[in-house]
Amino acid sequence: MMRRSSYPLSHFDYTVKMILLGDHSVGKTALLSQLAAEDVDDARHAGNCRCLNFRPNAHVELEVKHHGKRILVKIDDTGGQEKFRSITASYYRGAQGCLIMFDAEQPDTFSSVFEWNRDLETYSNRRFLAKLLVGIHLDSTRKQVTSDQAYRLAAQLEMQFLNLDPNNRKSAVGVVLSLLDLVMVTVQRMPSLTIDIRPSQVLELHMRRAKGGKNSSVSEVADDLGEDVKSRPSCPC
């Protein structure tokens, strides 16, 4: 399936590039497929995230309505290059957000998170890049990685952790919204940009989730973000 968008960039308030990292078969392509799906029942979150352009194993472009802004989010996939560790520096260039993914049923993919995080810090501007650790199959009876292990690793690598249901679009959208909020917080460090949300509230919420409900679902995080984060006039950064 492929969709093309004819929207001009002037149609959007912001544009954001995100990238996916992780071993082969950790749910990267499944995540993009869910984001490209059209049959959505949850209008509050998934309905505010519309697919404009989808190329399997390449990228998805989304129109996201978030905090009163219209945002063009492009999420790039590795296209299978991760199997040969042949991802080039250009893949990382310009990225403002990254999801590092693993499969709890495949412990080797969890161990590889260290390598992917090292590559990310090598080839990207870590000062201005937001990142999340995302795991799938944490609820499986065949899992070999626990949520506690994932939270500890995320803390060690200075990021947050979320559990993803790769077969649920609301879960997929929740992951994107969570990373998007962190991107908005991170780019406030760049003096040439202004952001219309209160970053302290977003960070407080993420820390509360990380310390509190260890098995909090992505949709619950998205629900809380929708309630806790309010807009404000642009600040002169």
Terminal alpha carbon distance of the chain? 42
131, 100 in Cβ contact below 8 A?
Answer: yes
Domain annotation covers residue 134: yes
Residue 18 has pLDDT above 50, yes or no: yes
CATH of the domain at 104: 3.40.50.300
In a domain, 77, yes or no: yes
3 within some domain: no
In this structure, is residue 2 part of a structural domain?
A: no
Of residues 8, 21, 100, the one with CA closest to residue 63: 8
Pick from 29-33, 45-49, 151-155, 227-231 the range whose average pLDDT is largest: 151-155
Can you give the pLDDT at residue 7? 61
Question: For 183-237, how does the pLDDT look when each residue is reduced to its tens digit (9 = 90+)?
Answer: 988 877 665 544 443 344 444 555 555 555 544 444 444 445 444 433 333 333 3
Give the pLDDT score at 56: 87
User: Which of 65-69, 136-140, 222-226 has the highest average model confidence (pLDDT)?
Assistant: 136-140
pLDDT digits (tens, 9 = 90+) for 142-154: 999 999 999 999 9
Number of domains making up the chain = 1
Q: Looking at the predicted structure, is the pLDDT value of residue 19 above 80? A: yes
In a domain, 236, yes or no: no
CB burial of residue 227 (10 Å; 0-12, 13-18, 19+): exposed
Domain contains 235: no
pLDDT, greater one: 119 or 80: 119
Containing domain of residue 216, as a range?
9-228
| pLDDT value of position 133 | 98
Residue 62 above 50 pLDDT? Answer: yes
Task: Evaluate whether residue 129 is within a structural domain.
Answer: yes
Q: Tokens representing 173?
A: 């959208």
pLDDT confidence tier of residue 103, bands split at 50, 70 and 90 = very high
In a domain, 233, yes or no: no
Q: How confident is the model at residue 54 (pLDDT cuts 50, 70, 90)?
A: very high
